[in-house]
Amino acid sequence: MRALRLVESTLSAGGVPIRCAASGLRGFRRRVRALAWRTTVALALLALVAPAPVAAGDPLIEALRARVESLRAGADPQIGAGSAAARALIASLYERRGFSPLWTDPTRMASLATAIAASATHGLDPNDYHAARLSAPVAPHANESERVRAVAQRDLLATDAFVRLAYHLYFGKADPRTISSGWNFSRTLDGVDPVTALGELIAAPDAAAALEGLAPRLPAYRDLRNALVQLRAIERGGGWPQVAPGPKLEVGSTGPRVAQLRARLLAGGDLAEDGAAEVFDAALEAAVRRFQSRHGLEADGMVGRATLAALNVGVAERIAQVRANLERLRWVARELAGDYLLVDIAGFRAQLWLSGAPVWSARVVVGRPYRRTPEFRARMKYLVINPEWAVPPTILREDVLPKVIADPAYLERHNMRVLDASGRVVDAATIDWASYRANPRAFPYQIVQAPGGDNPLGAIKFMFPNEHSVYLHDTPSRELFERTTRAFSSGCIRVERPLELARLLLDDPVRWSEEKLREAIASGRTQTVPVRHTVPVMLLYFTATVDADGTLHFRPDLYGRDRAIIAALAAPFRFAPVDGVQRGRAADPGRAKPAGVQ
């Protein structure tokens, strides 16, 4: 606990503590991350390839050899968390070193202990890394051989702890493929042999610095990590007070519930100073608006049911929410670099990044809770000006068919036509629509809406081909962008200011200026145009973020996706497979390619 407090104080010392609202986060200094992998490769390889000389028959080496052989046989459940690949990885490391111990230097062991304590500031659990067992001294034994065996086992435990923490900081603890259907982001070592990578990493003179270098270097991760430290400080102080249930509170309200509201907003940083305790004044109204804005609520300055519910979410739940979002960032950190288009589903926002800097941001509308927008990655390929709309199967069955059955003129009124499987137009009057009332899945045709003012795709759509048939598009329903909660689509993403996005992706000011785009739209002709910036499009889901001025924001968990991550973080440690690494064994040491961990 003392080590954790030291790490937390270091995090806060580099910048003003996180503002839950108006008091602000200015970040913290870059610390041990300045020790990058490539600055320690020479030392690492020297330590790996040429371990310190030891006498033949050294008892500790013999004890480690015996323990490693037992590990290979799967007889040590404490090491590798039930993963044959993890056991093989650790065994291979010791075999390459001639069974030389890794953790006999007290300074390196203390550095590992610091890293384990610091794992809590990443939203991880130090108990996953043998914290209690490694912090306890090696107990006295009846004879020297028992003591040596205990030291050997402790060395293996320390290595296992290092491997676990390195894995979690680099990939995350939970396996997103088991949590999010359709998840297709990579989990690879980019062709690096895991034994070589681990050997270079674990031989670094400062274990804490080496492990810290594996954590995401994103400002978003840094800021959320700092927010977690501050929320835990609030929790240690007893949390924030609750506001009793009752009627709506607004300017002019008085009584003890107003005093409770004032205390709650002071504790969370939304109210800068106290006032008349039981009077709802203008300053308190402004504080309520700030709180509502930070929590994805309608900022009307009144405390109704939704605002009261958000106020009474305990600090422990907010800590769990931040931990879940730190984990999400670990899953994708290496992908969020260079050029990409990020859609934050829960935040109802999209951002285009080019050369590592944001160049466009806009509000978006995403799928309803019963027609959820999935999380996945695909590459932008082309855009379509004046697109037709081929009605998706779900919308066809659940929305369009019932309307056509009830009103045969519906198709003509909405400029729709019916196509058969070969794309030929079918006369709608020849179809027995009522026969599909009981079984809409049997409907054998496709319905397509022509471009126009009421086409739900608007004037332009952005295509990044994917198995979900999800894309970005314009919309005629622009008033929905003014809503705070923007979950109205059937899974696709409606974007504000689509012409700006199109101009940036096309990156051809002569042929495709914004004026030229407007002319193409006005022509009414459907055109498919390849984009110059074929950026990866990443649909992700964040319910806790820190904005540019240091304000911590929470968003409602629209699709209930936080729970599975929080549960996975609390579950017993398990290694999940890494893409490109065979299950059950480490890579062949004879074919290893020396390389550093990126």
The pLDDT assigned to 495 comes to 98
Range among 263-277, 358-372, 583-597 rated most confident: 358-372
Average pLDDT over residues 271-289: 91
Residue with more model confidence, 6 or 497: 497
pLDDT beyond 60 at 5: no
Q: How far apart are CA 391 and CA 275, in angstroms?
A: 57
> What DSSP designation does 83 have?
-
* Same domain flag for 487 and 582: no
pLDDT beyond 50 at 583: no
Q: Which amino acid, 412?
A: E
* Same domain flag for 120 and 259: no
* Same domain flag for 9 and 148: yes
pLDDT beyond 90 at 242: yes
- 486: domain CATH number is 2.40.440.10
Residue with more model confidence, 200 or 107: 107
For 86, residues 6+ apart whose C-beta sits below 8 A from its C-beta are 79, 80, 160, 163, 575
* Same domain flag for 169 and 71: yes
* Same domain flag for 389 and 506: yes
The pLDDT assigned to 86 comes to 86
377 Rama class: left (phi>0) / alpha (psi -120 to 50) / beta: beta
* Same domain flag for 534 and 435: yes
pLDDT beyond 60 at 298: yes
Q: How far apart are CA 194 and CA 592, in angstroms?
A: 9
Residue 353 located in a structural domain: yes
For the chain, what is the mean pLDDT?
87
Residue 564 located in a structural domain: no
Residue 525 located in a structural domain: yes
For 502, other C-beta atoms within 10 Å of its C-beta total 24
Residue 297 located in a structural domain: yes
* Same domain flag for 261 and 208: no
Q: How far apart are CA 5 and CA 273, in angstroms?
A: 28
Q: How far apart are CA 464 and CA 100, in angstroms?
A: 51
Residue with more model confidence, 9 or 398: 398
Q: What sign has the CA pseudo-torsion 207, 210, 215, 219?
A: positive
Q: Which amino acid, 338?
A: G
Asked which of 26-40, 204-218, 547-561 is least confident by mean pLDDT, the reply is: 26-40
User: pLDDT-based confidence at 81, cuts 50/70/90?
Assistant: confident
Tens digits of per-residue pLDDT, 432-478?
999 998 898 999 999 999 999 889 999 999 999 999 999 999 999 99
> What DSSP designation does 15 have?
S
**Structural element, H or E, at residue 401:** helix 401-406
CB 554 within 8 A of CB 544: yes
The pLDDT assigned to 491 comes to 94
User: pLDDT-based confidence at 100, cuts 50/70/90?
Assistant: very high
pLDDT beyond 60 at 586: no
User: pLDDT-based confidence at 77, cuts 50/70/90?
Assistant: confident
The DSSP annotation for 418-446 comes to EE-TTS-EE-GGGS-GGGGSS-GGG---E
Which residue range(s) make up the domain with 97?
2-17+25-218+571-591
Tens digits of per-residue pLDDT, 20-52?
443 333 333 333 333 333 333 333 333 333 344
pLDDT beyond 90 at 193: no
CB 326 within 8 A of CB 221: yes
> What DSSP designation does 215 have?
S
The pLDDT assigned to 181 comes to 87
- 278: domain CATH number is 1.10.101.10
Q: How far apart are CA 78 and CA 457, in angstroms?
A: 56
Average pLDDT over residues 583-591: 36
Total domains, the chain:
3
* Same domain flag for 370 and 453: yes
Shortest CA distance to 346 belongs to which of 537, 123, 539?
Answer: 539
Shortest CA distance to 104 belongs to which of 154, 166, 161, 167?
Answer: 154
Shortest CA distance to 458 belongs to which of 539, 366, 556, 384?
Answer: 384
* Same domain flag for 395 and 493: yes
Per-residue burial over 70-109, b = 16 or more CB atoms within 10 Å of its CB, e = otherwise:
ebbeeebeebbbebebbbbbbbbbbbbbebbbbbeeeebb
pLDDT beyond 90 at 165: yes
Residue with more model confidence, 199 or 376: 376
Per residue, what are the HEC states of 506-552? HCCCCCCCHHHHHHHHHHCCCEEEECCCCCEEEEECCCEEECCCCEE
- Strand, coil or helix: what is 489? strand
* Same domain flag for 292 and 356: no
Asked which of 266-270, 303-307, 551-555, 579-583 is least confident by mean pLDDT, the reply is: 579-583
**Strands 349-354 and 357-367: what pairing?**
antiparallel
Shortest CA distance to 130 belongs to which of 103, 154, 104?
Answer: 154
**pTM flag (> 0.85):** yes
User: pLDDT-based confidence at 141, cuts 50/70/90?
Assistant: confident
Shortest CA distance to 218 belongs to which of 207, 226, 208?
Answer: 226
The pLDDT assigned to 1 comes to 53
Average pLDDT over residues 408-427: 93
Average pLDDT over residues 277-281: 92
Residue 172 located in a structural domain: yes
* Same domain flag for 68 and 152: yes
Residue 558 located in a structural domain: no
pLDDT beyond 80 at 508: yes
> What's the distance, Cα to Cα, between the start and end of the chain in Å?
31
pLDDT above 90 covers a percentage of the chain that reads: 73
Residue 494 located in a structural domain: yes
pLDDT beyond 90 at 359: yes
Residue 78 located in a structural domain: yes
Count of residues for the chain? 598
* Same domain flag for 439 and 360: yes
The pLDDT assigned to 506 comes to 98
